[in-house]
Structures are given as structure tokens and as C-alpha cells.
Amino acid sequence: DLMAPPSPFSIMGGVLRSILGAAERAESDVANHSPLQEVQRLEEKLEQAVTAAHRAAESLERHVAVVEKLADSLGPLSESVTRLTEQLNSLMKVTRPVAAAEHELSRVERLFGRRHRPADTSTAGGGETETPTS
């Protein structure tokens, strides 16, 4: 039996199996690389790109809204800074005479302080001496 020639049916069966296997592989290759599959992949990528563009547009709209609010607040902020500057200038005008008076008072205190200060504040006993105030 081992040396018996193969039957024509077994040879044909092997050939048919080989042909069917090759046909299945070819069908799989065609399905994976068909223009229809490529179109579907491109449609998916296009859909993803459109979704990303929508998200970017929404984000841009939010940023524009924030910038508009910021621009709207600049006018009132500028007015407030102007009023504050005016108030500080008024305050400086009021405090200048007071500062000048304090400066003069300080000069007078130094002038009188030097005249009443004794030349030597220590005594032979090591105690302190009082200075006359009148």
C-alpha cells in the first residue's frame, strides 16, 4: 500500500484544496486592499479631522469671548486708574504743607536740642546729671 500510486481523486483533491486556499488568500487580500476599504479608512480619518476642527473652533470661540470680556474691562479699569491718580495728586497737595511743617519742626528741635545738651554728661562720681530745661 505504501508503494501504491496515488489515486486520481487524491491528486485532484490536493489540487482543489490548494486552489481553494489560494482563492481564500486572494479574497482576503482584495478585501483588505480594496478601494472600498481605502475609502472607508479615508472617511474615518476625514470624520476625525472634522471633529478635531469643530473642537478647535469651539475652543477658539471661548478664547475670543474671554478676550472680548478683557477688552470690555479695559475702559473702566483705565477710568479707575485715572481717578486714583487724580486722588493721589490731591492727597500730595494736601500733605506737602504738613511734610514741610514737619521738616521745619525737626530742624527747630535739632537746633534747640544742641543748645541744651551739656558738653560732658558724666560726673566724677559716675552718675548722671540733669540738664536744665528752662
Parse the chain into domains and list their residue ranges.
33-115
Q: Which residues contact 116 (CB under 8 A, 6 or more apart)?
A: 131, 132, 133
What's 92-103 look like in SS3? HHHHHHHHHHHH
Residue pLDDT, tens place only, 99-113: 888 888 888 888 887
Distance CA 131, CA 35 (A): 114
pTM: 0.40
Quote the pLDDT of residue 134.
Answer: 44
Better-predicted residue by pLDDT, 26 or 85: 85
Distance CA 131, CA 72 (A): 69
